[in-house]
Amino acid sequence: MGAYTTIAPVVSKIFYSSSHAVLMVRRRPATVNGGGFVVTDHGQRAIFSVDGCGIIGVSGQLIVRDGDGNAILFIHKKLFQVAEKLINLYLIGRYCSSAECKHWWKGYLTDYGEPSKLVFSLQDPKPVLCMKGDIRVTVEPKGGNRHWDYEVTGSFVQRSCAIKNRAGHVVAQIGVKGMMAGSDFYQVVVQPGYDQAFVVGVIAILDNMHGESTRC
């Protein structure tokens, strides 16, 4: 087996693989079990699941679970106190600056089912007044002049995008493959040495940002 580089875990090193992992994401019907999605391996074994507001009952919150159903990540959207300022800018016909546009998603490890340690933050470039921008993820805690560690490129809606590190190397590729593939069933290839639970957490946020299975 070839050597590979192990990156410091975001969630846990138990979610690493020494070879590239092919994961399949399948949307759950909202009318049956509250929506969200399930992630399976090549043997069709469920290794992760994501609950959204259809199950949690609160918008802007997500829970990532392992294959045994244990909560491993709690994610919620952080609303800044600049909301009132943005409304005022809107009323007088101005557009917000890039700094004002940034809302954040925060990912926390869970301890006995409750949020504990903050492990990553993701910029949401699409609040009400701003419709485009880079999607970047910062592993917490930040250090030095490092403002981001990963970025999402391409189109999640079209299932043609990638998560890349600061060096531009692909960490995970999201795409479609096979006759059954589409928006409700797609493939994620995670490179060796990367935290698969973290990748699923980022995908969960992308899903919610675009109004898909985790949104009510």
Tokens of 82: 């600049």
Going by C-alpha positions, the residue among 183, 215, 213, 216 that lies closest to residue 36 is: 213
- Contact criterion met (CB below 8 Å) for 143 and 135: no
Block residue for tokens 């995008």: 161
If one compares 177 and 53, the residue with the highest pLDDT of the two is 53
Whole-number percent of the chain with pLDDT over 90: 64
Which pLDDT score, from 0 to 100, does residue 139 have?
94
Block residue for tokens 């493959």: 177
Which pLDDT score, from 0 to 100, does residue 134 have?
73
- Model confidence over 110-168: pLDDT tens digits? 998 889 999 999 988 765 444 455 799 999 987 667 789 999 999 999 999 999 999 99
Q: Which domains does the chain have, with CATH numbers?
A: 13-209 (2.40.160.200)
Block residue for tokens 């980022």: 202
- 150-181: string of b/e by CB count within 10 Å (b at 16+)? bbbeeebeebebbbbbeeeeebbbbeeeeeee
- Contact criterion met (CB below 8 Å) for 188 and 160: no
Sign of CA pseudo-dihedral 41, 43, 48, 51: positive
Burial of 88 (0-12, 13-18, 19+ CB in 10 A): exposed
Which residue type, as a one-letter code, is found at position 131? M
Going by C-alpha positions, the residue among 16, 5, 10 that lies closest to residue 139 is: 10
> Whole-angstrom Cα distance, residue 190 to residue 175?
12
Please state whether the predicted TM-score (pTM) of the whole model is above 0.95. no
- Model confidence over 92-110: pLDDT tens digits? 444 444 444 567 999 999 9
- Which parts of the chain fold into alpha helices (H)? 30-33, 53-56, 83-91, 98-101, 196-209
Query: Average of pLDDT values for 67-95?
Result: 67
Which pLDDT score, from 0 to 100, does residue 178 have?
67
CA contacts within 13 A on the Cβ side of 3? 1
Query: Average of pLDDT values for 5-20?
Result: 87
Q: Is the pLDDT of residue 90 over 90?
A: no
Which pLDDT score, from 0 to 100, does residue 127 have?
52
If one compares 33 and 79, the residue with the highest pLDDT of the two is 33
- The DSSP 8-state label assigned to residue 191 in this structure reads P
Query: Average of pLDDT values for 44-51?
Result: 97
- Contact criterion met (CB below 8 Å) for 49 and 203: no
Phi/psi of residue 132, nearest 5 degrees: -150, 165
Q: Confidence class of residue 77 from pLDDT cuts 50, 70 and 90?
A: very high
Q: Is the pLDDT of residue 173 over 50?
A: yes
Which residue type, as a one-letter code, is found at position 151? E
Q: Is the pLDDT of residue 51 over 50?
A: yes
